Chains A and B, each alone.
Chain A
């Protein structure tokens, strides 16, 4: 069995597990939905930051944009959004029937993804001309500013939180959102697996390894970065749209643009599993979920500190993540056939000739 079939088999097994899960653990449907959504987030973060080498600390912005865009459309189809938000979604005039909910979800969720993608293209036009570390700090600023701006807009709630549409009792909402999350994750997994088998991945890796050389070889690096970020934002936005419905309330600082929770988690999950690989973020998400439940149960109050410490420990001591460790431990099972495919801990060879100003400013 070669690597490709093995990978494909593992993916099918994962999807099969997803199909069985709700019957095995019907009480944990909402946690399982989050597991799938976080898998999408981690994979999307890794496309930009692991494969392309551009650390984005601001992907949570697309999560929030997708969430609010979707919710605004879901509600806005039937009710004025500002009044709905002001009333906190309460009152009989704001109830939606099942058909309206389904129509809202069918239109709103893709809309959230698209708006997030447009935002990525807009911000990308501003930021992606910058080289690695400038981009990273700029995205940090983006994330901080977005939360503050969202918190001051009355349309989506100032000081209080916009609630997501209330489902009528006829709908089994945990099951509905489980299947939606699972469908999104399945779509993302299949799409990313395909994308990472194409030449586009090599183009992105070329940017990560040596952008100047990639440019000299005739790659349109800015365009490639933009495409990667747009794809990443699209899936992040979709996940955000579903997460908003799942979490019921969309507080700007705590849920939508929560740089300290979702924003950190997606980074942690990807680097835990191993940056720049397909299976890294997937495995990282699963492991992180277990660890998170433990932290939240046994160390209340300290969990965020520990997650920060975990990032430091992973980056400083295991920069290749779980996948990298597996590759080192059992090279003939996991190692890539190509010689220089180890991803993270390697510094790319320094260019003999390089532009004067890119390293510092």
Chain B
């Protein structure tokens, strides 16, 4: 049925040439002409910053609530569709960014109050299933409401050229990069200085002690989940302006967020941003060299490599004592 429509467009990294026999040719091209490398590098950086945005949200929810949100990619997608709706209503897509953030914030809050609070204290396998269900539900909802086609919002921003037209720089992508970076900084400041941000960090550190200290952890969880959704909403609005969205991009996007968080460790926003940029660039080059049909296979391979490397490095860490019955023990706090 609908899957067939987008077999070839499961995400927004579109390699320039995807013929199998042209792989060697592509490599030669890359080696001969530095402009190609610069183009791919820049494209990777632009998308990487947006990937990092969703990864912040995932790290936040993971670190604070010990939940891996599989619906992350669907939140991103929803942000994109809200921007499209705003555009249909006659607004400039730039207005879609705050609008998507607002709507997703409310949705995140509502989902926490309806579903997530029931699984937040449960085993992680339960919360995985719950967010998986949310992911399927949102994905199919958007597929039913908006249709399975890839869609994009025309932002009206132009394209700049570097090196005498050899390298193209769409301004929408630069905007996405700059905004992502700014939001990263703002989030860092928020967690560092704001009252709620400090409560979030305290809860991440030790929920039980935070409760004893008078922090309403339930409220903190709700806020964390809502902030995560809002971050994804902004990412979605940026994706739809600079690239495109469709109802089946969710899972690959979740995988990318997860990979970034695992590679960087959930504790450090700067390293998450860097890992996001790295993933964007690596995927851009791999997409160019391998072609579209191996894009997801490459993503999976990269995921396994990241997980295995991470697991080995953790296995060599010294073991530590954890206190029993402390609720969320030893989570890394975003700082």
Contacts and interface: CB of A to CB of B under 8 A. Distances in A.
B297 A312 contact: no
Interface string A337-361: 0000000111111111111111111
B4 A359 contact: no
A138 interface: yes
Interface residues of B, number: 71
A254 to B, nearest CB: 5
Interface of A: 49, 53-55, 57, 126-127, 129-134, 136-138, 140-142, 144-145, 147-149, 151-152, 159, 251, 253-254, 258-260, 264, 267, 271, 301-302, 304-305, 307-312, 314-317, 319, 344-361
Contact of B255 (A144, A301, A360): A144
A345 B134 contact: no
A148 B296 contact: yes
A305 B296 contact: no
Contacts of B303: 137-138, 141
The DSSP consensus for interface residues of chain B is helix
Interface of B: 1, 3-4, 7, 10, 62-63, 66, 68, 70, 114-115, 118-119, 121-126, 128-130, 132-141, 143-144, 251-252, 254-255, 258, 262, 265-266, 293-297, 299-300, 303-304, 307-308, 310-311, 314-315, 317-322, 324-326, 329-332
Contact of B136 (A151, A260, A351): A260
B136 A251 contact: no
Nearest to B130: A315
A149 B128 CA distance: 26
Given A305-B141, A316-B118, A359-B330, A264 B136 contact: yes
A312 to B, nearest CB: 4
B209 to A, nearest CB: 15
A149 B293 contact: yes
A334 B102 CA distance: 48
Contacts of B317: 356-357
B1 A315 contact: no
B128 to A, nearest CB: 5
A353 B297 contact: no
A148 B314 contact: no
Nearest to A264: B136
B262 A134 contact: yes
A314 B70 CA distance: 17
Given A126-B308, A251-B4, A357 B315 contact: yes
